[in-house]
């Protein structure tokens, strides 16, 4: 784990907080609880389902089991549908018997503990491990529906996660039915997970696809995040190939709409050819964004990093951006400093984004997402400081 | 002022050595402070003839740093007693507890106000607990002694402790003062302990004989110096206390490597089997 990579706990948190109506109990010091909350402060503020045991020095010395016991008693009165107990590094180091406390508490609702001590790995590893931990909770559901698919990889904490999911659902239906998403599960999704005939797994989450295959025997395909018209078409063709479905009409309409869009903004679009850009983010989004920018818009990617590379070095990436002529940076709120430092624009697309909102239906993914993504990219280029000075200043 | 840590495998007799040498030094008119650094909080039991409230318990009870008189007690022969305390077995972190207790001792300037001639830290036996090295790491003590019997596992632990002392000796002023041989083991052969001590560059500086007076005194929650002042063990504790007060600086030990230690163990085993056959 390196600075800036996040920790195992934060990754696991992202997965568990995505399970709708589930309650998260963070058994750790206040920093873990508030840190996770801070990273999702622009998430659904009407949907905060979290508490922390707020372990202090006293609990580190004498053990924190009492506080956990007390927290579970308080939760009993609130009757949540299910509770995920996450622990931080300190409560793992002092080896609180979390499992024993949960068993003794005999809560009238399911309580699941997962050892999420931060030092167990990177945020990416925590996210994947937590999704795998959710797999045993999923149920067979009713009859198999060969037209139904499940989607693996989008978290409720992702910037535009919900709206991207809605756009992907819109692309998939009615030829196929989006049955459930992991980790963005509902209680119904948990019950009906096994009904799907195919699991669509975003690149980098193959381990979750394998775990699901072992649990339900369901085949899975690995796809790239569907940015752009070509990215969306490739996504749908992969689904068609696996399921024998036909999204040909959706692809035709989507491609036509993309061409119409391009015609409307042909002049600023030309500005993008061979312009330099930098990309940083989680592998699922960053790799797909890189492809979209290079292949569909003709940008040159001067600096790239994603969390799949265990030797990922944020500092090296920053240096590469500084040495480049990048006019756009695609990243998270953590890349904001570059906007202050260099004459470029930041397009927020990767976790975490704490300094922007995308209200309503404003996806970046799918055919519908192209208009929003392209608008933000072009607005970024049009607002580029050097260009502004060139046009309006002597 | 001599600041001494007593180390050794769990149950080897560290608290017995600390309590009785403290009593012996105090009986000769020295100002002595004993700090129990073990969550069991039993170091000062025989000096106080009862268990005392620990620093951490007082901290919890009072919701903050306790006043000195809540944690500092006077025991046999006027020995000043402190117990760090800590969690129950299997819970929390004893190491962090000991570190906090030592912090309180520093903040309350207990050492500065008592001006003791001798401070004895009784350290828990678990070499992999963070609390184990806290007195050395926190620079609260400058000489360490290791209590051992002639059992191989006790010597094995002593070797580990020597490695730890060496580590802190290299970055600070801490030294190994010597080994204290506790002859309570039935098959006790001091020769092996002396050999081990020599090989790590140290020596045996004290010998505690097998003496039922120790057991009886502890059952009565007393030091041997109170319960049986003429017992052979009482004489040993007096002699060891004098050593603590007068000894020159110790050494930086050279712990044995695994092979040398195993070889010593083999010879100890041979001797033990030979004795059994006889």
* Residue B215 in contact with partner chain A when CB distance is under 8 A: no
C-alpha distances (whole Å) from A207 to each of A99, A120, A153, A222 are 26, 17, 11, 11
Is the pLDDT reported for residue A393 higher than 80?
no
C-alpha distances (whole Å) from B228 to each of A299, B44, B266 are 91, 18, 38
Report, as residue numbers or ranges, the catalytic residues of B: 9, 14, 40, 126
- In CATH, which of 3.40.50.150, 3.90.850.10, 3.40.50.300, 3.40.50.1820 is domain B2-277? 3.40.50.300
- Cα dihedral sign for A120, A121, A122, A128? negative
* Residue B171 in contact with partner chain A when CB distance is under 8 A: no
pLDDT band at B117 (very low <50, low <70, confident <90, very high): very high
Taking the C-alpha atoms of residue B193 and residue B208, their distance in angstroms, rounded to an integer, is 13
- pLDDT, residue B101, reads 87
C-alpha distances (whole Å) from A6 to each of A13, A14, A42, B169, B221 are 11, 11, 18, 37, 54
Cβ–Cβ below 8 Å for B87 and A65: no
pLDDT band at A391 (very low <50, low <70, confident <90, very high): very low
pTM score, two decimals?
0.85
- pLDDT, residue A290, reads 98
Cβ–Cβ below 8 Å for A61 and B56: yes
Task: List, for residues A223-253, the tens digit of each pLDDT value.
Answer: 999 999 999 999 999 999 999 999 999 999 9
Among all chains, which residue has been given the structure tokens 């927290």?
Answer: A71
For residues B197, B203, B209 and B214, what is the CA-based torsion angle, rounded to 10 degrees? Answer: -90
Q: What is the DSSP letter of B131?
A: G
3-state SS assignment for residue A237: helix
Task: List, for residues A277-315, the tens digit of each pLDDT value.
Answer: 999 999 999 999 999 999 999 999 999 999 988 777 788
Taking the C-alpha atoms of residue A72 and residue B27, their distance in angstroms, rounded to an integer, is 55
Least confident piece of the model among A229-233, A326-330, A356-360, B29-33: A356-360
Mean pLDDT estimate for chain B: 92
Indicate which of B38, B39, B93 best probes the interface with A, i.e. most A CBs within 10 Å of its own CB: B93
C-alpha distances (whole Å) from A8 to each of A235, A319, B23 are 29, 27, 52
Q: What is the DSSP letter of A177?
A: E
Indicate which of B65, B91, B97, B131 best probes the interface with A, i.e. most A CBs within 10 Å of its own CB: B91
Q: Return the structure tokens found at B23.
A: 């009593």
Task: List, for residues A8-54, the tens digit of each pLDDT value.
Answer: 999 999 999 999 989 999 999 999 999 888 877 666 777 889 999 99
Q: Å from B41 to nearest chain A CA?
A: 14
Indicate which of B89, B96, B98 best probes the interface with A, i.e. most A CBs within 10 Å of its own CB: B96
The stretch B120-137 carries a mean pLDDT of: 83
Dump strand ranges (E) for chain A: 22-27, 50-52, 82-87, 111-114, 145-152, 177-182, 196-202, 220-223, 276-281, 300-306, 326-331, 345-348
Q: Å from B184 to nearest chain A CA?
A: 34
What is the largest distance, in Å, between two alpha-carbon atoms of chain A? 75
ipTM: 0.78
**Looking at beta carbons, which residues of chain A come within 8 Å of B88?**
62-63
Phi, psi of A6 (to 5 degrees): 75, 175
Mean pLDDT estimate for chain A: 92
Which residues of chain B from 6 to 65 reach within 8 Å of chain A, CB to CB?
56, 59-60
Cβ–Cβ below 8 Å for A94 and B97: no
- pLDDT, residue B188, reads 59
Q: Å from B65 to nearest chain A CA?
A: 12
Q: Which residues make beta-bridge pairs with A24?
A: A50, A84
Which CB contacts under 8 angstroms, 24+ apart, belong to A330-337?
A330/A277, A330/A278, A330/A279, A330/A280, A330/A281, A330/A286, A330/A289, A330/A293, A331/A278, A331/A279, A331/A280, A331/A281, A332/A159, A332/A280, A332/A281, A334/A4, A335/A280
Is the pLDDT reported for residue A389 higher than 60?
no
**Looking at beta carbons, which residues of chain B come within 8 Å of A94?**
91-93, 96
* Residue A60 in contact with partner chain B when CB distance is under 8 A: yes
Is the pLDDT reported for residue B40 higher than 80?
yes
Closest CA to A118 of A137, A81, A91: A91
* Residue B95 in contact with partner chain A when CB distance is under 8 A: no
Closest CA to A205 of A155, A166, A141, A165: A155
**Looking at beta carbons, which residues of chain B come within 8 Å of A61?**
56, 86-87, 92-94, 96-97, 100
Complete domains list, chain A, with CATH: 8-129 (3.40.50.1980), 137-253 (3.40.50.1980), 257-392 (3.40.50.1980)
Give the chain B residue whose CA is nearest to the CA of A58: B60
Is the pLDDT reported for residue A394 higher than 50?
no
3-state SS assignment for residue A219: coil
Cβ–Cβ below 8 Å for B87 and A62: yes
Give the nearest partner residue to A63 out of B59, B87, B100, using CB atoms.
Answer: B87
Indicate which of A61, A92, A101 best probes the interface with B, i.e. most B CBs within 10 Å of its own CB: A61
pLDDT band at B90 (very low <50, low <70, confident <90, very high): confident
pLDDT band at A392 (very low <50, low <70, confident <90, very high): very low
- pLDDT, residue A1, reads 57
**Residue B95: partners with Cβ closer than 8 Å, 6 or more residues away:** B129, B130, B131, B132, B134
Give the chain B residue whose CA is nearest to the CA of A91: B92
Is the pLDDT reported for residue A165 higher than 80?
yes
Taking the C-alpha atoms of residue A128 and residue B173, their distance in angstroms, rounded to an integer, is 48
* Residue B86 in contact with partner chain A when CB distance is under 8 A: yes
Domain borders along chain B are: 2-277
Cβ–Cβ below 8 Å for B93 and A60: yes
- pLDDT, residue A4, reads 60
Percent of chain B surpassing pLDDT 70: 98
Q: Which residues make beta-bridge pairs with A178?
A: A149
**Residue A303: partners with Cβ closer than 8 Å, 6 or more residues away:** A278, A279, A280, A317, A320, A321, A324, A326
């Amino acid at each position: 784990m390196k600075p800036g990579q996040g920790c195992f706990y934060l990754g696991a948190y992202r997965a568990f907080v995505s399970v709708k109506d589930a309650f998260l109990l963070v058994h750790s010091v206040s920093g873990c609880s508030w840190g996770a909350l801070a990273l999702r402060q622009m998430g659904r503020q009407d949907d905060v389902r979290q508490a922390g045991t707020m372990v202090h020095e006293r609990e580190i010395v004498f053990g924190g089991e009492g506080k956990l016991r007390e927290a579970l008693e308080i939760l009993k009165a609130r009757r949540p549908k299910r509770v995920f107990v996450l622990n931080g590094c300190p409560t793992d180091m002092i080896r609180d018997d979390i499992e024993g406390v949960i068993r003794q508490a005999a809560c009238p609702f399911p309580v699941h503990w997962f050892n999420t001590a931060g030092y167990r790995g990177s945020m990416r590893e925590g996210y994947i491990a937590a999704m795998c931990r959710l797999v045993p909770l999923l149920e067979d559901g009713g009859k198999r529906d060969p037209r139904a698919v499940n989607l693996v990889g989008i978290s409720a904490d992702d910037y535009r996660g919900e709206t991207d999911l809605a756009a992907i659902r819109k692309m998939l239906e009615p030829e196929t039915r989006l049955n459930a998403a992991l980790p963005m599960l509902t209680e119904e999704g948990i019950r009906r997970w096994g009904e799907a005939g195919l699991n669509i797994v975003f690149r980098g989450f193959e381990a979750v696809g394998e775990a699901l295959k072992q649990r339900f025997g369901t085949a899975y395909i690995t796809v790239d995040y569907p940015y752009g018209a070509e990215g969306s078409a490739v996504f749908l063709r992969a689904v068609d190939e696996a399921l024998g479905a036909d999204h040909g009409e959706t692809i035709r309409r989507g491609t036509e709409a993309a061409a119409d869009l391009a015609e409307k903004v042909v002049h600023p679009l030309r500005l993008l050819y061979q312009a330099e850009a930098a990309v940083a983010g989680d592998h699922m989004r960053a790799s797909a964004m890189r492809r979209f920018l290079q292949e569909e818009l003709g940008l040159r990617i001067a600096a790239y990093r994603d969390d799949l590379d265990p030797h990922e070095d944020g500092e090296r990436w920053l240096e590469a951006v500084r040495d480049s002529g990048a006019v756009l940076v695609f990243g998270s709120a953590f890349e904001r400093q570059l906007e202050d430092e260099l004459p470029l624009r930041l397009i927020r697309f990767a976790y975490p984004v704490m300094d922007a909102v995308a209200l309503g239906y404003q996806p970046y993914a799918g055919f519908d997402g192209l208009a929003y993504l392209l608008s933000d990219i072009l607005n970024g280029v049009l607002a580029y400081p050097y260009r502004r000075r060139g046009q309006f200043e002597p | 002022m001599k600041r001494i840590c007593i180390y050794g495998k769990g149950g080897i007799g560290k608290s017995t050595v600390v309590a009785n040498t403290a009593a012996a030094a105090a009986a000769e008119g020295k100002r002595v402070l004993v700090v129990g650094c073990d969550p069991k909080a039993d170091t000062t039991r025989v000096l106080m003839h009862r268990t005392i409230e620990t620093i951490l318990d007082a901290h919890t009870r009072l919701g903050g740093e306790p006043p000195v008189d809540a944690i500092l007690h006077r025991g046999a022969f006027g020995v000043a007693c402190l117990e760090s305390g800590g969690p129950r077995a299997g819970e929390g972190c004893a190491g962090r507890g000991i570190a906090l207790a030592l912090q309180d001792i520093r903040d309350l300037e207990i050492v500065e106000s008592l001006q003791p001639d001798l401070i004895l830290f009784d350290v828990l036996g678990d070499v992999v607990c963070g609390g184990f090295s806290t007195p050395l790491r926190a620079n609260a003590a400058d000489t360490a002694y290791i209590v051992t019997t002639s059992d191989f596992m006790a010597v094995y632990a002593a070797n580990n402790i020597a490695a730890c002392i060496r580590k802190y000796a290299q970055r600070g002023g801490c030294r190994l003062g010597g080994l204290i041989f506790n002859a309570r083991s039935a098959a006790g052969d001091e020769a092996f302990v002396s050999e081990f001590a020599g090989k790590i560059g140290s020596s045996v500086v004290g010998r505690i004989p097998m003496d039922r007076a120790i057991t009886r005194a502890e059952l009565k929650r007393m030091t041997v110096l109170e319960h049986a002042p003429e017992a052979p063990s009482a004489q040993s504790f007096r002699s060891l206390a004098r050593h603590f007060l007068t000894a020159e600086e110790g050494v930086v030990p050279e712990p044995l490597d695994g092979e040398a230690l195993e070889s010593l163990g083999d010879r100890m085993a041979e001797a033990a089997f030979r004795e059994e056959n006889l």
